Amino acid sequence: MDPLNPLTPPTPSQPQNLPPTPPTIPPRPQQASNLVPPPPAAPDVRVRTMESDAASAKSSGGGEPEPQFVTFPAPTGAPAPEAMELAAPQGGGGSKALIWLIALIIVLGAAWGAYAYLWPMLNLTNPSPVAPAEQAPVPAAPAEPQPAVVPAAAAPAPAPSLGLPPGSATTVVIDTTPTGIIAALAKEAATEPEEGDVREFVLSDTAGPVSFTTFLGALLPEAQKTGLIDLFSNGFSPRFASYAFYDEKGIWPGYVIEMDPARMPNVATLAPSLQKLESSSYANFFLSTPGTPDIFRTGQVKSAYVNRFVPLSQPGASFNYGIFGKYVIINTSYGGLLKALDMLKL
């Protein structure tokens, strides 16, 4: 090269000075597969200028000038290797997609539930009436015939006991007239008892034992008008004891009527009510005509009871009645009254 003309290019035949071999840069350690490799280092470029040649000649004492190595900086638009490593995409892209899919399914399920359950409850402005389905009437099952419930018949109250052996009473069937009653009792009483001086009867009609009000109404036709039927209906047991007392003067019938414990009559008013027997046809209590009556009197029996009686002209005949404890006793002889009190232990 001409030192006076530094721009003249060197002749090809002239040897050129080669730059020194740059030092070997050790390779960077291998990064993970997910890091982007750094860009290649900028190449060393040899440049000769007038300034570089003058500097070279001065430093070499007039020798051949040497070119100057210039290193260009890396392009400003390229990121640094460390920044590129930080910006590299991270792993787990499949997990994010799965999370998004699950979230989408949950949102869709919540939307469907709100539509299916909440919307019908909120949409109350114009509910559509649902017509009930018509059903064919079901015929009622025929009622099974039930057996008629017949109330149990109340057991008849027993007749007052005279203390005679059970089964010794004789049943006498009567009709509902005074003459029929007297004839039936007279016929049966004509047979004297084998032992003792008393015989007991059970007075019955075709339906069974008769009550005392039935017997009294048949024997004394005026008993209904005088109130005697009501008197014995309201405070006495319907069953009564009938007996015949035997002595040397005749056969004397007697009757024992027991007060009802559930409907006890007022004893203070009972005695005056029983006096209506005195104005009645009391002669029908006898089995035969008793004769001419005397006047009714008040007597005392066993020093404990009071009775009313009337003597009659037939020997031994007297009509007696009274209240004795819980009984009313009607008898056709005084001896028969005392026998009844003994049998009742009064």
Nearest to 255 by CA among 301, 230, 224, 286: 286
Nearest to 247 by CA among 301, 316, 313: 316
Q: Do the domain assignments include residue 225? A: yes
95-122 in b/e form (b: 16+ CB < 10 A) is eeeeeeeeeeeeeeeeeeeeeeeeeeee
185, 306: one domain:
yes
Note whether 251 and 332 are within 8 A (CB). Answer: no
Dihedral angle of Cα 10, 15, 19, 23, to the nearest 10 degrees: 160
Q: How many folded domains does the chain comprise? A: 2
Stretches where the chain sits below pLDDT 70 are: 1-94, 114-157, 194-196
Q: Do the domain assignments include residue 174? A: yes
Q: Do the domain assignments include residue 118? A: no
Q: How far apart are CA 320 and CA 297, in angstroms?
A: 10
Question: 10 Å Cβ neighbour count for 213?
Answer: 20
Structural domain containing residue 52: 1-8+41-72
Q: Do the domain assignments include residue 184? A: yes
What is residue 24's predicted lDDT score, i.e. its pLDDT? 59
Q: Do the domain assignments include residue 336? A: yes
Note whether 162 and 200 are within 8 A (CB). Answer: yes
Q: Do the domain assignments include residue 179? A: yes
327, 204: one domain:
yes
284, 178: one domain:
yes
Angle formed at CA 261 by CA 257 and CA 265, multiple of 5 degrees: 70
SS3 85: helix
Q: Do the domain assignments include residue 282? A: yes
Q: How far apart are CA 257 and CA 162, in angstroms?
A: 12
How distant, in Å, are the alpha carbons of 194, 236, 344 from that of 107? 118, 96, 106
Q: How far apart are CA 245 and CA 287, in angstroms?
A: 12
Structure tokens at 40: 């290649």
The domain boundary residue, chosen from 56, 72, 88? 72
SS3 284: helix
184, 332: one domain:
yes
Q: Do the domain assignments include residue 66? A: yes
What is residue 110's predicted lDDT score, i.e. its pLDDT? 77
187, 323: one domain:
yes
210, 326: one domain:
yes
What is residue 161's predicted lDDT score, i.e. its pLDDT? 81
